[in-house]
Amino acid sequence: MEYPTLLPRFLKYIKINSRSDEHATRFPSTEREVDFQKVVMQDLVDLGLSDVHYNEKAGAVIAEIPATTTTTVPVIGFLAHCDTADFNSENIRPQITKNYDGQSKIQLGDSDFYLDPAVFPHLRDYQGQTIISASGDTLLGGDDKCGVSELVTLAEYLLAHHEIKHGRIRLAFTPDEEIGTGASHFDVPDFGAAFAFTVDGEKPGKLDWGTFSAAQFELSIQGVDVHPAVAKGQMVSALKIARDFQNSLPAQEVPEQTSGREGFFHLLHLSGIVDHAELEYIIRDFERDGLEARKQLVRDIVDQLNAALGTPRISLKIYDQYYNMADELKQHLEIVDLARAAYRDLGLEINEDPVRGGTDGSQLTYMGLPCPNLFAGEENMHGRYEYTVLESMYLAVDVLVRTVSRLAEAPIK
């Protein structure tokens, strides 16, 4: 169904810059995230939700939609993140293309950039629908202000329709998802849900309960810089060592040459001179054993290069980021089944392909809060080509309403 306040709410939210900062030393990483959370918090108060508060530990806004049934129903939670990704988020100017014909290119503002169905064929799926995009010089912010807008709209709708029976519903609006640090601070006891769903997925029908397992590593390489005229036998180029390390990794196992369940090594950052170089990588694999094997390969290459150099010029820092939540959610498939049932009730074709990435739910699931991910209608995230579809957002709210009412009809034990 249509929700008349959803679009204006979404347009209001995306115009507020709430970009996170991976280089920050504070939490949440930016004050602008907190400023946006204050806007959301006031909206929740104005709607009349219960227990609206800011949890300092979690850096999250928490609120509750009270139960409308006396039946014993597990407390369900929904989460959406308030930060946007590492792309220009200042002065976002949304544009709305109504009744899209499914074939034409959509010019992004007055820029030289277009949403072109020849490049983005999924645009053809939205013939006759309303496309919301940006102006070509910013992202849109639908990741995850689609989810934020949908949760606030859910609250508004349920508070106005007491005839829909449901148990207690806890909502959380969290920071720093895009930089992978927000969920580690989350206060699961204060949230008080038996299980939850993040609302941060792609097109209608996408249901995510499997993700990559992830690690990150950093290399610091110390070279020896002398004048090239007398370099023989003395110079040790940190840049050459960096190149040798990169060339020792499997050449085909990179993001741009992998798909499906294939993992990869990804060089995020390289800086240096002859004297010193720094490299930053991420590792991804769907299997925990595969992640461990990739980490061991990195250690082995470092050891081999250091041995060949005759002195340990490469130092390595490696750490895990998150794990495939499917390994844990296999013990809680009744939660996945609840979402599947809601999708089927609405006639949606379910896509459970594992996420080639992670969600806050990846960490929360291992923190004792089982947490699959529902679609929010986000497309082409993290850049100028980001867009969403209004009808997809309507469907996302429909799914949320159906999920809580189904839980009341058949409570999970």
Q: Mind listing the pLDDT tens digit for each residue in 14-62?
A: 999 999 998 899 999 999 999 999 999 999 999 999 999 999 999 999 9
Same domain, 49 and 160: yes
Same domain, 163 and 304: no
Same domain, 243 and 185: no
Whether 186 is in a domain gets the answer yes
| Secondary structure of residue 158 in the 3-state scheme | helix
Q: What ranges in 126-277 are assigned the alpha helix state H?
A: 142-160, 188-191, 238-248
Alpha carbon separation from 303 to 167, 198, 306, 316, 356 (Å, rounded): 56, 41, 5, 10, 30
User: Which is catalytic among the residues 144, 177, 253, 360?
Assistant: 177
Distance CA 31, CA 37 (A): 10
pLDDT of residue 358: 83
360 in catalytic set: no
Low-confidence ranges of the chain (pLDDT < 50): none
Same domain, 41 and 138: yes
Residues spanned by the domain of 256? 213-322
Whether 101 is in a domain gets the answer yes
Whether 1 is in a domain gets the answer no
Q: Smallest Cα–Cα separation from 290: which of 237, 334, 250, 350? A: 250
CA angle 32, 38, 43 (to 5 degrees): 135
Same domain, 218 and 304: yes
Same domain, 53 and 139: yes
256 in catalytic set: no
pLDDT of residue 359: 86
Count of CB atoms within 10 A of residue 305's CB? 18
Distance CA 372, CA 359 (A): 9
pLDDT of residue 102: 96
Instruction: Please classify residue 132 by burial: count the beta carbons closer than 10 Å to its beta carbon, then call 0-12 exposed, 13-18 middle and 19+ buried.
Output: buried
Same domain, 94 and 242: no
Q: Smallest Cα–Cα separation from 208: which of 340, 85, 383, 398? A: 340
pLDDT of residue 357: 85
pLDDT of residue 153: 98
pLDDT of residue 61: 98
pLDDT of residue 258: 97
**CATH number where 330 lies:** 3.40.630.10
pLDDT of residue 180: 87
User: Which is catalytic among the residues 33, 83, 143, 379?
Assistant: 83
Distance CA 246, CA 90 (A): 35
Count of CB atoms within 10 A of residue 128's CB? 10
pLDDT of residue 57: 96
